[in-house]
Amino acid sequence: MEKKITAELRELIARGSSTAVNGFKNEQEVVDKFNSWRTDDDAKNWLLVMGYEIGKITDVVAVKITGSHKTDVQVEIKVIYDKGKGIENISIKLVSNKKGFNQIDKRWVDTYSELWAIPSGIKKNLKLFTGEIVPEHINKRNKKRMFLDELNDIQKNKIINFFETNKIMVVTDLFRGRGSFQASWFLLYKKKLKIWTLLPMSVVMNYYGNGEVRITKQGSLKIGKIGMQRKGGDNGRPSSTMLQFKIDPCEIVKVQ
């Protein structure tokens, strides 16, 4: 089964990847490319990957989406003889390094608790993990927070079971989001190599969400290939105790 999934993914990557004619630096340049689709080869390739026939397109209008949404760019495609229109929502990842982890979501534990109906005991332990609640005991590894592997077996199993039971909902919220701006496409652009890969978000979710939920040797949580960590940084400001989820966005295009 794994070989079949890998073969299908390899085919999708090959079909959805190309060297950009001109490198782009941010979401606005993706918008500009789509709006210049008649002359921009990258935009034409993206539309082809999305399943549109260039000869049947009459108009393309792209806009940048602001606010707390997974979609960075929304594209409206009008097709000849079709009274309707296609709406494509794209999440964009611009990466400079061949390997490295990028944040895909960051919120306060209370916000995740409300979103996913996290039980109070698990919520408290997640706050101990981020340092939003300072542990009462003296921790040899870090006096300001706890690591998940320092919890007792019952507490650890409750966290693992919660995320395993709710994996589909969690992964969907982390990648696709909710509401009218749910992302349906994932556009990865490697800036140094000027190579882009456009994949259906469902394929990306299946790839990164595939695998067991486990507590790592470093005391963090892994949901498949998704890492859950304390945000950290921010010069010790309260925001450093937020919870964040990260992936290596380039990992998916290395599947062979």
What digits encode the pLDDT tens for the residues 20-33?
Answer: 676 667 889 999 99
d(CA 170, CA 105): 11
Domains of the chain by residue range: 102-174+211-254
Residue 21: what residue type?
A: V
pLDDT in tens, 29-67: 999 999 999 999 999 999 999 999 999 999 999 999 988
What is the helix, strand, coil percentage profile of the chain, to 5? 40, 25, 35
Of residues 137 and 207, more confidently modeled = 207
Determine the length of the chain: 256
